[in-house]
Amino acid sequence: MKNRFFSRYEWEDIGSDGVNAYALYDEMVMMTTDRMHIFAENIDQAAKDFGIKVDEMVFLSRHSSASGKPALTVHAIGNYKDNQMGGVYGTLVKSTPHTMTATLRSIKELNDNSEYGVSFEVTHHGPYVDVPTMYMEIGSDESRWTDTHAADILVNAFLRRNNENYVVAVGIGGGHYAPRFSDMALTHRIDFGHMIPAYQLKGSTDDEITEMINSAMRKSNADVIYLHHNSMSESEERRIENLVDSLGFERVSSKDVDRI
């Protein structure tokens, strides 16, 4: 993906801080590092120290899964609990709902390879940074990571995206690839920030879930909460609804949001 970005424009090599290298085109800066990105804590501060004003960060990454299913994905980052994959324990990073969701829609529009699925992933892994951040990934195994056409789809999608100021939602429920939230984003005027999957809810206390919801709403600057009802048992659904209502957040369903 980096090479595909570089092929689009004349980027200016603006130097290195000894650890990271920087190239500039218009208002975009490409930052490359030898560090494993999910463990590159506070890498935004390195850019700031180099003299770059950071508004949003987009990590260009490869996606890996046991299934090896071809996928083009975007997701927010941070940890609801453990930080074995970078970041800070129990701490989310600010998300980019409008940029991330617009990019997803653009990927779907430009994806001309039916092998590749297009979806969100739920919030997971590091690094910790202090600016709104998203990951854009090509997967899901080594045979796909060097697929230049798939990389072109992602790069073109990001560059051609049309950010809209749709209502911002936190998604709760469902699996890792957030099928319901992905479908809603592709068909309705709603942008998603952080997502709390069912596996994070499982075994969590009310206090822990309350903290997850509060943090996800705050770090997404979200307006509403969207529940994936069909992914929950009736008792779990009532539990989450009661917690959301007790916090004073608005719940919406598909009928509350206009179609695109």
Do 3 and 30 meet the contact criterion of CB atoms below 8 Å apart? no
- pLDDT above 80 (res 66): no
Percent of the chain scoring above 70 in pLDDT? 100
The average pLDDT across 30-50 equals 96
pTM of the model: 0.97
Distance CA 216, CA 196 (A): 8
Tokens 């595909």 locate to 4
- Asked if pLDDT for residue 22 goes beyond 80, the answer is yes
CB 97 within 8 A of CB 221: yes
Task: Please give the average per-residue pLDDT across 208-229, as a whole number.
Answer: 98
**Residue 141 confidence (pLDDT):** 83
Cα 202 to Cα 236: distance, rounded to the nearest angstrom: 9
* pLDDT tens-digit readout, 123-170: 999 999 999 999 999 988 888 899 999 999 999 999 999 999 999 999
* Mean pLDDT, residues 194-205 taken together: 96
Query: Which pLDDT score, from 0 to 100, does residue 38 have?
Result: 97
The order of strands in the sheet holding 167-172 is 190-196, 167-172, 224-227, 250-252
User: Percentage of the chain with pLDDT > 90?
Assistant: 94
For residue 68, the model assigns a pLDDT of 79
What is the average per-residue pLDDT within 27-44?
96
User: Is 77 within 8 Å of 123 (Cβ atoms)?
Assistant: yes
Report how far residue 29's alpha carbon sits from residue 22's, in angstroms, rounded to the nearest whole number: 7
Long-range pairs for 49-56: beta carbons < 8 A, 24 or more residues apart:
49/17, 50/15, 50/17, 50/20, 50/22, 52/22, 54/131, 55/131, 55/132, 56/96, 56/99, 56/131, 56/132, 56/133, 56/134
CA atoms within 13 A on the CB side of 259: 3
Say what the pLDDT of residue 104 is. Answer: 98
- Taken in order 14, 15, 17, 22, is the CA torsion positive or negative? positive
What's residue 257's pLDDT? 96
Average pLDDT, the chain: 96
pLDDT tens, 75-127?
A: 999 999 999 999 999 999 999 999 999 999 999 999 999 999 999 999 999 99
CA distance 23 to 16: 9
What's the rounded Cα separation, in Å, for the pair 40 and 239?
37
pLDDT bracket for residue 64 (50, 70, 90): confident
Q: Which pair of structure tokens corresponds to residue 66?
A: 């046991």
